[in-house]
Structure 1
Amino acid sequence: MSESDEKVTNDLSIAESEQDLPQEVKEKKLKGQLKTGYTTGTSATAASKSALIALLTGKIVENVQVTLPKGKIVTLKIAWTKIHENSITSAVIKDGGDDPDVTHGAEICSTVEFTNNKGNVQIIGGTGVGKVTKPGLGLLLGHAAINPTPIKMICESMHEVLDLYPELIEKQGLKITISVPNGEEIAKKTDNPRLGILGGISILGTTGIVLPYSTASFAAAIRQSLDVGIALKADTFILTTGGRSEDFCKNLFGDTYPDHCYVQMGDFAGYSVKQCHDKGVKKVFIAGFIGKLTKIAMGVKQTHVRGSHVSMEFMANLAERAGAFEDILGLIREANTARHVSEIVDSHKVKGFYDLICRNAASQLSNYSKNELSIEVIMFDFKGYTIGKFPKN
């Protein structure tokens, strides 16, 4: 889920954020030193072009040029090419740049062969490319998870080569099979199973390039998850700050909500709520731990950028509203972390403190939905017990 999607760029003014980056990555990002990479779609296009050149000319090339959707021409290295009896297969090693993409290093293969379907270019998925089993992705059910932009890129790249041999395409067509040898295993580390893409990875990309640690890609994944759930008639979503809070929610709710109702929003709480509102969702649960929920309650949009620390004064004010005495407020003001505050609150039995954080978080998030979306906030402790909630049922 880390390939670039530029369409979300304007939306991010609602919820500008970063993932929890290592310090050295933050420094590189600030200096503009992170290396961009190429999407699986660009890799598949390069492999297809290489295989077609070999099929038509018998020549094996080491590099090919690919035209990206916005017109930029890039050169990709071909890892290997194999000649079969009636087809040619080429492979590109997917280069995600400095992005921690699980598909980085994967072999993206393309097998090209002639068919009797004159003038037609057929693109299908082979081993390691997932098949679509749920609606909401803009792809045909039962077909390979190859997005429209990569299909367009592959077709255009094929015609660039075929234009040099017009007599061939007039007599026959082409069949292109995209495969990823280790794709099924790689897919287990992605959201594909949740989205109903089974048996492998997706061939993705709207710009052709991967932006390292892109907030746009994370936000695009949220939108995609919501679209799948909505297509499956979901009107309630559980938005969690991560995998652990999602697991705790599943323990809490049991079988009440199917898997497609769960969306990991990361740092994009406001953005996720706005998307739910805009897509006509009726209700959302927001679930997380004290640190992230406190930042949301404070109205912090960028919950993981520098300077977005939890305010101990804010927490002390909430504790005072919950009835804490002055000596406890002093301890909270001197606390190191939100978790440290929770230890102070628990040891002094300050009742209602966590509920107040949840109440304030819900109030802040309501701003992203014009107060038209039902929002319920749940706070877990680190063992999975519910310690705070708003509204109280």
Structure 2
Amino acid sequence: MAKELRSGYTTGACAAAGVKAALLYAAGESWQEVELTALDGTKLTIPVKAVEKTAAGLKAEVVKFSGDDPDITNGVSVFTQVRHLTGAKEEIIFRAGEGIGTVTKPGLSVPVGEPSINPGPRQLIRNVVAEVLGKETIPLEVTISIPAGVELARQTLNPILGVEGGISIIGTTGVLRPMSEEGFKNSLVPQIDVAKATGFKDLIFVPGKIGERIATGWNLPAAAMVQTSNFIGFMLEAAAERGIERILLFGHIGKLSKVAAGVFYTHNRIADGRLETMAAYGAAAGLPQDGVQALLAANTTEDALVVLQQAGLQEKVCQKLAERASLRAERYLFQKLKVGTVMVTLSGELLGMDATAKEIGEGYGWKLPQ
């Protein structure tokens, strides 16, 4: 029987639990364990590690529990500081403490200049304040801190999304269920929204760090780059839905040769026909049978390129693969947008690109390797 995975609670739920605990502490009530109703109606019971009175207000500490989700914030302390305000127009003013980022680019769910505390957590906090204090709510300042967030932010997409100074307080409902593939895919999409809000109509899709590093070295704008991971098809569809006009697929031949074969989920355990694709196009270009066999026996696509190079066919085959990747991507999207493709080696050598890729790259003033 398969093990049932445990759910946990989000950083937003931790912050809400801390706010509730602080308010209960101020009222002289028990605060060591609080109950929350998540935004989807799920009942959560969250232990509170500590509440203390400080010169700046009441400060609570809740330790994040992620269940069986591989969340990077599992086990970190989430601190919430609550302070009563006088003369404030808003019922609750949110502040970013240590380790919480600030939004610096448009396109996210909170405005530029605001703490990166998403709408879900904000509503959850408003709910617990109304629950404890009633309708006659006294204006409050709520400051959320996760000291570990400064370092943890480097393991997230926040630097790309324009969230500076730390991580985000996230969570749609407050319940953290083990991350599904769908959840991970959806976490990539805000990159498109941010790039579009910044004014880019042509985006650069980089499946991995290799493409991103090389594209940056070619002077392509980092703000227009979107990491797709293995979900190239999903991200292409998301771009089309948002009215993006053109996409430049920029990456290593190992990933993009799969797209040339019509593969849009490129995880190697799902689709690993790189050598077969290169062999097929090599044979179509005149690669002799022994060359095809040598290519199929290669360990990596970089080794396969040596076979093509020795046969004098590398440029011809790679050019065709780039053109075919764009053709298959546009067909996959039913011609909803234009796609160009640039294929490179690990060292950044240009292998092949099509006309649309050249047009997009020149529009961005790229500097091709000599």
Sort the TM-score into its range (normalised by shorter chain).
0.7 to 0.9
Select the residue among 125, 128, 132 that pairs with 1:161: 132
The alignment status of 1:92 with 2:62, answered yes or no, reads yes
Structure 1 unaligned residues grouped into runs of 5+: 1-29
**CA distance in structure 2 between the partners assigned to 1:282 and 1:307 by the alignment:** 29
Aligned twin of 1:12: none
The alignment status of 1:282 with 2:230, answered yes or no, reads no
TM-score by length of 1: 0.82
201-210 or 263-272, which deviates more: 201-210
List aligned pairs for 1:291-330, cutoff 5 A.
291-304=254-267, 306-310=269-273, 312-330=275-293
Number of corresponding residues: 355
Aligned twin of 2:325: 361
Shift of 1:35: 4.2
Aligned twin of 1:67: 37
Q: Deviations over 1:211-260 (max 9, x none)?
A: 444333433333211111111111111110112210101112x1x52x21
Given the superposition, is the C-alpha separation of residues 86 and 318 from structure 1 closer, same or farther in structure 2, using an over 3 Å criterion? closer
SS state at 1:122 partner: strand
273-282 or 67-76, which deviates more: 273-282
Select the residue among 243, 246, 267 that pairs with 2:230: 267
Q: Deviations over 1:44-80 (max 9, x none)?
A: 1111111111122164x33222211210112222222
**CA distance in structure 2 between the partners assigned to 1:367 and 1:248 by the alignment:** 27
**CA distance in structure 2 between the partners assigned to 1:363 and 1:278 by the alignment:** 19
Q: Deviations over 1:301-349 (max 9, x none)?
A: 3322744221644332211122211111122334455444334323433
**CA distance in structure 1 between the partners assigned to 2:343 and 2:66 by the alignment:** 35
Given the superposition, is the C-alpha separation of residues 100 and 133 from structure 1 closer, same or farther in structure 2, using an over 3 Å criterion? same
Aligned twin of 1:8: none
**CA distance in structure 2 between the partners assigned to 1:38 and 1:347 by the alignment:** 57
Aligned letter for 2:53? I
List aligned pairs for 1:1-393, cutoff 5 A.
31=2, 34-57=5-28, 59=30, 61-85=31-55, 87-116=57-86, 120-163=91-134, 169=136, 172-252=138-218, 254=219, 256-257=220-221, 259-304=222-267, 306-310=269-273, 312-351=275-314, 352-391=316-355, 393=358
Q: Quick check: 2:258–2:277 contact (8 Å CA) kept in 1?
A: no
**CA distance in structure 2 between the partners assigned to 1:130 and 1:100 by the alignment:** 21
Q: Quick check: 1:225–1:260 contact (8 Å CA) kept in 2?
A: no
Tell me: higher relative CO, structure 1 or 2? Use CA pairs within 8 A at least 6 residues apart: 1
Q: Deviations over 1:149-197 (max 9, x none)?
A: 111111112222224xx7xx46x33322212223233223322222222
SS state at 1:64 partner: strand
Q: Deviations over 1:251-294 (max 9, x none)?
A: 12x1x52x210111111111221222222222211122222212
Q: Deviations over 1:82-136 (max 9, x none)?
A: 2225621111222333444333332211112223359933333223221222111
31-40 or 49-58, which deviates more: 31-40
Aligned letter for 1:130? G
**CA distance in structure 2 between the partners assigned to 1:217 and 1:260 by the alignment:** 23
Q: Quick check: 1:310–1:337 contact (8 Å CA) kept in 2?
A: no
Q: Quick check: 2:93–2:141 contact (8 Å CA) kept in 1?
A: yes
Aligned twin of 2:363: none
